[in-house]
Structure formats: C-alpha cells, structure tokens
Amino acid sequence: MNAKELIARRTAKFFKDGDVVNLGIGLPTQVMNYIPEDVDVWFDSENGVVGLMSAPGEGQPVDFNLVDASGFPGTLRVGGCCFSSFDSFGLIRGGHVAYTVLGAYEVDQHGNLANWMVPGKTCAGMGGAMDLVTGAKNVLITMIHCDREGNSKIKKQCTLPLTGAGVVTHIITELCVLEVTPEGLVLRELAPDVTVEEVVSKTEADLIIPEKIGCML
C-alpha cells in the first residue's frame, strides 16, 4: 500500500451514514474509493453537485460536464443532483457539510491552514477553500508529512498566507493521525511500522503524546 492510499483509506473511516462530505483537489478525491460498503455518504463538490460518485467504469458513458474537484469525470448516484454555484455555496456556508477534506502546503499546531498560495508562484486563486473551512463542521487535512526537501509541513506557526485560522480538526499523513485540540496537536494514531520518535523527528510543531496511541489501519 502506497502512502496516498494509506491516507485515503484512513480518512474514509471518519464518515458515518448521511454525512455530506466535500473532497478537495488531488489526494482528497481518492477518499471516495475507500468508503466502507455499510456507510452511506453524500459527496458534495462546490462546482454544484451532491451525490457525486467515482469515475465511470469501463464501457460506461462519460459525462464531461459532471466532474470532481480535480476536473476528472465522475458519476451521479441515485438521488444525486446538480445545481448552481450560488446554491452550492449556500449549502457550504449554511453549515450543512459534515466534513471537508483538503490538501495543504502548511498546517500548524493552532489549527491554522495554508493551502492556496505559494509566494513567487502563479496561482489560479483560492477557489472555494475559504468558504469550505469556515462552513464545514470538520476540516480534515490529508497530505504527505514532509515536502520534497524533507521539511515538515506541520509547523509551529504557518509562514504562508492563511486559508483559515483555527479551522483544522484533524491531520492525516502517511505517518500518523493528529487531532487539533485547544491544548495543541495530539498524536492519536500511527501508521504500521512507524514509531513515535519518527513522527516527532519529522514534525516541527510540538506534539502531545498520550499513553495510548491507536493504529491507522
């Protein structure tokens, strides 16, 4: 199992029957593939759809007007519907989304999130991220623990422009699951064969280590 699959599988375990879940661009869209069969989740996309499902299978028709956050074709479950962006953001801002799952450039120990701009690089804009992190009941960050240079993406304090302040509830990486609490980041689960010492060494933020730590799988 590769790192991204591990992250997506663990993230899928957060949801329960009836939850409306928004999946952001990239890794978060993979979460849809690992929902347990006995859990009925409604996937939302801010471009105006509820009831989005995974890509069409071989031989199935493809509707290029029905896409996920990454722009890849999806399918629509029975009871799903499409609507305007106006209604979509009303749903999000109205607090009807149970979970939003997003990637990040940086997250810090205060639950601050930076995921829309890298200084010196051209970006298309922040999209719906600021609305999602303030409107959703829970904000799950799915990401690789360190950047390509080996620097931790989990900081004491974000250095990039914030998408939202104090909005993150959990961080899921290929190493662990961290919960954001008023006291700080709590190490809740470890990936198989990962030690507490490894997580601490690869995390810039201060961590709270409880006596009992679960396993991600």
Q: Cβ-count burial of 158 within 10 angstroms (0-12 exposed, 13-18 middle, 19+ buried)?
A: buried
Q: 78 in the Ramachandran plot: left (φ > 0), alpha (ψ -120 to 50) or beta?
A: beta
Find out whether 131 and 88 touch, Cβ atoms under 8 Å: no
48-65 in b/e burial notation, b at 16+ Cβ within 10 A? bbbbbbbeeeeeeeeeee
Catalytic residue among 5, 46, 183, 189: 46
Helix (H) or strand (E) holding 134, with range, is helix 129-135
- Beta-ladder partners of 99: 21, 138
Helices and strands (H, E) in the chain, number of each type: 4, 14
Give catalytic status of residue 46 as yes or no: yes
Residue type for position 34: Y
Q: Are strands 170-172 and 184-190 parallel, antiparallel or unpaired?
A: unpaired
Residue 183 has pLDDT above 90, yes or no: yes
* 61/5 Cα distance (integer angstroms): 27
Residue 123 has pLDDT above 70, yes or no: no
Look at residue 98 in the predicted model and tell me its pLDDT.
97
* 89/84 Cα distance (integer angstroms): 9
* 25/38 Cα distance (integer angstroms): 26
What is the set of domains in the chain, with CATH numbers? 3-215 (3.40.1080.10)
Q: CB within 8 A of 199, min separation 6: which ones?
A: 145, 175, 176, 187, 190, 207
Look at residue 128 in the predicted model and tell me its pLDDT.
82
Tokens read off for 10: 């663990």
Question: End-to-end CA distance of the chain, in Å?
Answer: 11
* Interval 164-193 mean pLDDT: 98
Residue 16 has pLDDT above 90, yes or no: yes
pTM: 0.94
Question: What value does the mean pLDDT of the chain take?
Answer: 93
pLDDT in tens, 22-43: 999 889 999 999 999 899 999 9
- Beta-ladder partners of 189: 177, 214
Find out whether 141 and 121 touch, Cβ atoms under 8 Å: no
Pick the closest to residue 139 from 11, 10, 16, 3 (CA basis): 11
pLDDT in tens, 71-103: 888 999 999 999 998 899 999 999 999 999 999
